[in-house]
Structure 1
């Protein structure tokens, strides 16, 4: 039997952050990973996706300036940009494991499972630890339908060596919208199929409708209220079958969400309670077994399952384990983004929440399309909805613009630090930028 002070299950951003913090706190640490070292985000998620989206952003800029300095709108060369993406992702697994090795953290690759409240089994060997941190993340879900074996996921999409002439996405969440925009920029015929008529349901419906309209103008075809029943492989591709609906396509990507990666861990053996939404934790990120913590996307929580949130939880959980804090975890405002064309982002109190409580909140809507920051880029649509409480303090924001990723971060800082308009106008920002516009929004 091997003994450690702490064992981390999962070698992604959350697990790595936890392992390094525990090691620096003087603990003997081991990390177990059953897939790619580095986890989903840098290998098959946020980072490679954002590299591919850089090509979409470049094409959009040219398209917006057509007739205003540019005439032709080039399609994104998939092979070239996919190879560019590989120059980054190919180094992640070895670099992630190498960092752990250099820090003196033991690493093990393969499946591990709990056999008691403080032991796991790996490769027919038993490992004991005083504490565990589960950071196993999530993986793509697959529809339970006839022909599901014909479906690919975002994992495979991001590593396609050739973009098909036509491609279909099942789902209407973050992943489906983002990948659809990437495929569209290559010149592929893109379809998006969803079981109801309300995509991106966590966001303001008006802005979502605007986003869908812009994507339609780029040639993306939406098929709402289609309940996919079957996927049939044929000689020249696949047929997606629904109620009174058929669609022939070269490739189908299932983007219907992600599920916690708890299968195979045998959490019951460790006395850990969990559900389909993930592992249950308390305000200190402890599971029902107080010596075992869970962090990141594997836990059941209302906070967004995002990489920076996982890192925040890793820091908190390990600080708590090391005795550096005894306070319950307190999350700051967390911005969420849909990297579409345009981008859609929100932070803090949402528009639906504010609309449901008009006695508590005021919504200030602005059409920013004519503002110089957006006019100079000839953006087709730029909008914001800023939410204030009774004290005129900004508590939430939703924005739709190609520059939403920059704008939402500034709004997040203003919300977290409770910066008032009077305070902001005492500062001078670079002009003309989204930062210099902020004084007119908060």
Structure 2
């Protein structure tokens, strides 16, 4: 039995980070991946969804050239769209990407890994051992126990696992779930010709985020003829003559296919964690601040620990776990020190870091809200992208508790606020940072200016200023 410095189970974003960095450090790494390198993010998640969203955006622009003063007759055919999405994913997941793992011993498509003990795993009957083991097996779609859901087939029930494998854009599609997957796919398929109805139990789209952002996104969807039904209970699903009937508290919806986008669940059963004494619950593997399980030489990274189901969080956790694993000193890297943002790539985009207004209120914080509309800025109006806002949860001293951005380039603009919160910078620091004009990021500075103007709107302060002028 060959011994390694480290074993990595799962080659999604978390496992890829550990494998590539570990090999670069000279560690002897064994990586096990039962399907495809890249995990769900690259193969059937965030990357193909962006390719499909871009195709939908291109079609939307082509159909609306008149708003730019361009008169043209355009006929679009979307029959090849999904094929091109798959081709792009294949191009990314090629030799260039795999070069990062050429020093890694990779067991690909040889079966699942299962624990024998805390230092040993078994794959396809063969045993391998290591000083450190990193679990990064990710999650899979959660299918809710809706009466009748069991009658659906792989052909008419879609999840992120098979949605990009379709040959054609469905004419009608019912989507259950108003989170990132549900909203992105609703807009992408709608813009490519599908008639969409999105149904969810929550009161607004993107329920983990800011309510105002969810409401604005819903208004945009309705302008694009996407049906949105919030606070709606799903009673049962029926299939008759190849049509899916979704019975809800808001009526019955018909479609040729249905997309289930109701959350994720960890993939743990096949690991036989009990053989190594690893503790877990229904949300995932239990970890401490340093990404360690209760068995101190074993780390759980990425979605499988249930901490933050996001690809960038998984990559970051993988990096932290490896750094902690090789660090002999008691000073370790705590995951809670690093703020986790999220972005949704609809049009308009939505991005969030830190507390929402609702969360700040629930914590009884003394906060103020500074909100800046995209429509107040010449660049976004000139671009034809006036829908959106920045909402900052702050206080009179300028401490930043959280930021929500909805609008063009929100996913890029949010990074300035992540760094600010993580480094305990204030609204004054944002104000005093020169931003290139007329970038969309100038809105970050403008919202800080509004905070300062609000501070200046004090009778006492105005008297002091007049005294010294």
Confirm or deny a common fold (TM above 0.5): yes
1:29-428 → structure 2 map (5 Å cutoff) = 29-59=29-59, 66-71=66-71, 77-95=77-95, 98-99=98-99, 102-109=102-109, 110-145=111-146, 146-148=148-150, 149-150=152-153, 151-242=157-248, 245-301=251-307, 304-323=308-327, 326-330=331-335, 331-357=337-363, 359-420=365-426, 422-424=428-430, 427-428=433-434
2:427 and 2:203 map into 1 onto residues whose CA distance is 38
Task: Indicate how the Cα distance of structure 1 residues 61 and 362 shifts in structure 2: closer, same or farther if over 3 A, else same.
Answer: farther
Tell whether the 8 Å contact from 1:76 to 1:187 is kept in structure 2 after alignment: no
Bigger Rg over Cα = 2
2: CA distance, partners of 1:333 / 1:104: 30
Separation (CA, whole Å) in 2 of partners of 1:251 and 1:187:
14
Corresponding residue SS for 2:114: strand
Q: Secondary structure at the match of 1:200?
A: coil
Contact 2:30 2:104 in 1 (8 A): no
Question: Aligned in 2, Cα 1:74/1:279: closer, same or farther, shift over 3 Å?
Answer: farther
* Counterparts in 2 of 1:250 and 1:22: CA distance versus 1, 3 Å: same
Supply the distance in 1 between the matched residues of 2:118 and 2:207 (Cα, whole angstroms): 39
Take 2:386 and 2:161, find their aligned partners in 1: how far apart are those partners? Answer: 32
Distance of 2:328 and 2:25 partners within structure 1: 10
Give the deviation of 1:101 after TM superposition: 5.4
**More off after superposition, 257-266 vs 87-96:** 87-96
Q: CA deviation at 1:380?
A: 5.0
Q: 1:75 to 1:120 in 2, by over 3 A?
A: farther
What's the offset of the Cα at 1:18? 0.5
Give the C-alpha shift of residue 188 in structure 1: 1.1
Measured in 1, the distance between the counterparts of 2:176 and 2:23 equals 43
- Structure 1 position 95, deviation (Å): 3.5
TM-score, structure 1 as length reference? 0.91
3-state SS in 2 of match to 1:79: coil
Aligned to 1:11: 11
> Within 2, Cα distance between the matches of 1:44 and 1:224?
26
**Gaps spanning 5+ residues in structure 2: where?**
449-469
Q: Which runs of 5+ in 1 are unaligned?
A: none
Please give the secondary structure, in 2, of the residue aligned with 1:434: coil
TM-score, with structure 2 as normaliser:
0.86
Secondary structure in structure 1 of the residue aligned to 2:186: helix
Paired residue total: 440
Against the structure 1 CA distance between its residues 440 and 270, is the aligned structure 2 distance closer, same or farther, given a 3 Å change threshold? same
C-alpha separation in 2, matches of 1:55 and 1:99: 29
User: Retained in 1: the 8 A contact 2:187–2:346?
Assistant: yes
Between the aligned partners of 2:442 and 2:44, the Cα distance in structure 1 is 35
CA gap of 1:220–1:239, structure 2 versus 1, over 3 A, is same
Deviations 1:182-219 (A, max 9, x none): 00101210111113434322112122111111101100
CA distance in 2, matches of 1:421, 1:441: 9
